[in-house]
Amino acid sequence: MKQENKNIDKQFKLFSIKNKMVSVFIFFAVSLLTVMCIISVYLASFFLMRNTEYFIKELAEGSSKVLNERADSIFKKLDTFSNMPIIQDDSVPYSEKINLFKNEIQMLKQSGWISFGISGLDGILYNTDGKTEKINNTDWFKSVIKGKYIITEPEMSLTKRKYVSILAIPLRDLQGKIVGTITASILGDSLSNLISDIIVGETGQAYLISPSGIILGSRRPEILYKNFFSEILNSDKTDFSIFLKDALESKKSAVQVSKINGVKHISALSAMRYSGWKLLITAPASEFISENVSNLLNIFIVVALCGILIAVLIGFFTANNIVKPINKVIEVLKNISQGEGDLTVRLPLIGNNEITELSEYFNRTIEKIGNSMQSVGVNSRSMAEIGSDLALNMNRTADSVHEITENINGVKQQALTQATSVTETVATIEQIIKNIKQLNASIENQAESVSRSSASIEQMTANIASITQTLEKTDELIKTLAESTEDGKEIVSKSNRVTQKIAEESGGLLEASSVIQHIASQTNLLAMNAAIEAAHAGEAGKGFAVVADEIRKLAEESSAQGKTITATLKALSGEIDSLSVSSKTAEEKFSLIFSFSEQVKSMSEFLTQSMREQENAGVEILNAIKNINSVTFEVSNGSAEMLRGGEQVAEEMTKLDGLTRKITLSMNEMACSAVQISNAMKEVNEITQKNKSSIENLAFEVNKFKV
């Protein structure tokens, strides 16, 4: 029998329910986290790409606006020149008008300016460098005299041996009629300076491109004035080439993700106002996405490891508490199957787990009891034949019955132990369900807290975006203030120079006043001499004396007026000196204002950039909170599923507890019956004559069992 038990143990190699449950928990956690990781990385990459496209497009449009404003500042300077009265005066020849700009161009040459020019409708352009040109056949001249503001593409100047771009506006007279043009010639390389401060990512580039694809501005001087398609793309048939051609022909901003020389780039174009040129900004997409995706993967790896660890702990704890009572039942039934019992039930052998083992040992027990009952039936029939020998063996039978009674009592105690264990197991499972309910409530509270946190962070992100927009508007206003301050500084400087010149000229007026007084003094002396000579002449000199007296009065009046003029000029000279000092002070104050406005401009740009970075960080935190919210929701669903499973197990354990109570009651009844049999066996020694009848009754009772 022992050999048979060993063979059965070898045949069924257990793969326990506990191990299965832990494996299921691990598989579920790994599968769920893997799917979530894949979906999250895909969505993060998708939205990062969209946000980067929007950022690049906004940068291109904002930069083009800055370029337009820089062009506006040049046109405003030319407008200021055109509104000067002497420039609008038709009586002043253009050859003299151009001289007014020579000092101005000397101050601007270090900034890439070459010369100013002015022309009439005849198309003869007078330049500050003293040269004249015939421009009436140029396209830009024809557009300007129609009232347009023009910026030409840089062209190689035969006289200057450099690439030169011309900015031109119409010149109007006092009645507003177009009578000519005012131009400014700047170095073509200065267009690259306009975009030199546009930086995108680590290796991103900014280009100023003409409608025909010529590179007009770049931080790479070796590619200036070359064709973009042949120099950068090496082909005009790629997706990006087709996109660029369509964008150059359109007047709208555009953005696209495409490969440039085998590397995926994000590119955006924005048009300039006056020229039809396009500002192209392009940068590798990996510079904006790789780091963020890598950080997201690191976060998910940490979360996944934590989730797997939690799943293992929960699965092990739950499985251990479920399997522990079943193992106790197996031990009890195994003991019964190897001892003695009286049942006729067979359990099906299904699966390969603890329940299978429980059924196997239960069937063995029933089989053993059936064999015993068959043996009792055979022996009872034999006992009718050997009734005469019953008296001789009665003492030994009484001892055997006593031993059976002790065994039944032992089984009774085991049944009681089993009932106690089942009751404790039911109480333990109820406590587990209570703990799971508390855990489920905590998870729900956590989900609500995460949702509130997500809403708060969304509000914070929106506020940061609003502040960023306000700072960007403030930045634009500060830039306008800086430009206005610079113009005011130049105007005050001109006013100071004019005041100094007036002060110098006032000295000449004082000298002229002194000359007038001197002439009046000499005239007075001459009148006195004439009066003396008239007196000497007597009657004949009376008429001459009258004339001399009038000359004397005129001389005295001239002298008085000369003194008055002198006093007035001295007072005016003092006022002019005071005005000169005030103009110089104003010029110094404007210089300080300009310096402060530049500092405020730099601080505003830094603050705007910081707020943009804060906004991006807020978006990343919001995405992480949303992911945590999703994980919390999944954990809540898992907890609810565990609660339902625990309740089902509790229900089954309650049924098992009822069955155990019934078995215990049956064992009590069997114990009582065994005591009665023992007492009866004691009386058998006294009534051996009734042995045959008793044996027949025993055989009748044994036949009632189904074996």
DSSP 418-463: HHHHHHHHHHHHHHHHHHHHHHHHHHHHHHHHHHHHHHHHHHHHHH
Q: Is the pLDDT of residue 701 over 60?
A: no
Judge whether 142 lies within some domain.
yes
Judge whether 118 lies within some domain.
yes
Judge whether 676 lies within some domain.
no
Distance CA 377, CA 390 (A): 17
Instruction: Find, among 241, 228, 207, the residue nearest to 63 by Cα.
Output: 207
DSSP structure class, residue 153: P
Q: 5-14, 580-589, 698-707: which has the minimum mean pLDDT?
A: 5-14
Q: 41-55, 345-359, 423-437, 531-545: which has the minimum mean pLDDT?
A: 345-359
What local confidence, expressed as pLDDT, does residue 181 receive? Answer: 92
Q: Is the pLDDT of residue 53 over 80?
A: no
CB atoms within 10 A of CB 362: 21
Q: What is the pLDDT of residues 153-190, one digit of tens each?
A: 888 877 667 788 888 999 888 888 898 999 988 887 77
What torsion do the CA atoms of 378, 381, 385, 387 make, to the nearest 10 degrees? 100
Three-state SS string over 154-191 comes to CEECCCCCCEEEEEEEEEECCCCCEEEEEEEEEECCHH
Both tokens of 363, joined, read 């069937």
Higher-confidence residue of 144 and 290: namely: 144
Encode burial over 610-640: b for 16+ CB neighbours within 10 A, e otherwise: ebbebbeebbbebbbbbbbbebbeebbebbe
Q: Is the pLDDT of residue 8 over 50?
A: no
Q: What is the pLDDT of residues 635-653, one digit of tens each?
A: 677 767 776 776 777 777 7
Q: Is the pLDDT of residue 341 over 50?
A: no
pLDDT interval class at 362 (50, 70, 90): low
141: Cβ contacts below 8 Å, ≥ 6 apart: 119, 123, 135, 168, 181
Quote the number of domains for the chain: 1
Q: Looking at mean pLDDT, say which of 122-126, 257-261, 356-360, 536-540 comes out highest.
A: 122-126
pLDDT interval class at 105 (50, 70, 90): confident
CA 154 to chain centre: 40
Q: Whole-number mean pLDDT of the chain? A: 73
What local confidence, expressed as pLDDT, does residue 442 receive? Answer: 74
pLDDT interval class at 14 (50, 70, 90): low
The parent domain of residue 114 ranges over: 83-188
Judge whether 157 lies within some domain.
yes
Rounded average pLDDT over 98-112: 80
Three-class SS of residue 351?
A: coil
Radius of gyration of the chain from its Cα atoms, rounded to whole angstroms? 57
Dihedral angle sign, alpha carbons of residues 238, 244, 247, 248: negative
Rounded average pLDDT over 24-36: 77
What local confidence, expressed as pLDDT, does residue 509 receive? Answer: 66
Both tokens of 536, joined, read 């000497």
Rounded average pLDDT over 271-295: 72
Q: How many residues does the chain have?
A: 707
pLDDT interval class at 682 (50, 70, 90): low
Both tokens of 429, joined, read 């499972």
10 Å CB burial of residue 571 (0-12, 13-18, 19+) is exposed
What local confidence, expressed as pLDDT, does residue 645 receive? Answer: 73
Q: Looking at mean pLDDT, say which of 81-85, 189-193, 410-414 comes out highest.
A: 81-85
Q: 2-11, 239-248, 503-512: which has the minimum mean pLDDT?
A: 2-11
Judge whether 183 lies within some domain.
yes
What local confidence, expressed as pLDDT, does residue 354 receive? Answer: 65
Judge whether 665 lies within some domain.
no
CATH number, domain of 183, equals 3.30.450.20
Distance CA 645, CA 654 (A): 14
Judge whether 281 lies within some domain.
no
pLDDT interval class at 391 (50, 70, 90): low
Higher-confidence residue of 130 and 319: namely: 130
Three-class SS of residue 698?
A: helix
For the packed helices 691-702 and 354-385, what is the interaxial angle rounded to 10 degrees?
A: 150
pLDDT interval class at 7 (50, 70, 90): very low
**Percent of the chain scored above 90 by pLDDT?**
1
| Residue 12 near residue 360 (C-beta atoms within 8 A) | yes
What local confidence, expressed as pLDDT, does residue 491 receive? Answer: 75
Rounded average pLDDT over 97-121: 83
Distance CA 213, CA 236 (A): 11
Both tokens of 678, joined, read 């023992």
Q: Is the pLDDT of residue 76 over 80?
A: yes
For tokens 């497009």, the residue is: 57
Rounded average pLDDT over 464-469: 76
| Residue 179 near residue 120 (C-beta atoms within 8 A) | yes
Q: What is the pLDDT of residues 502-516, one digit of tens each?
A: 767 666 666 766 777
Dihedral angle sign, alpha carbons of residues 138, 143, 146, 151: negative
Judge whether 598 lies within some domain.
no
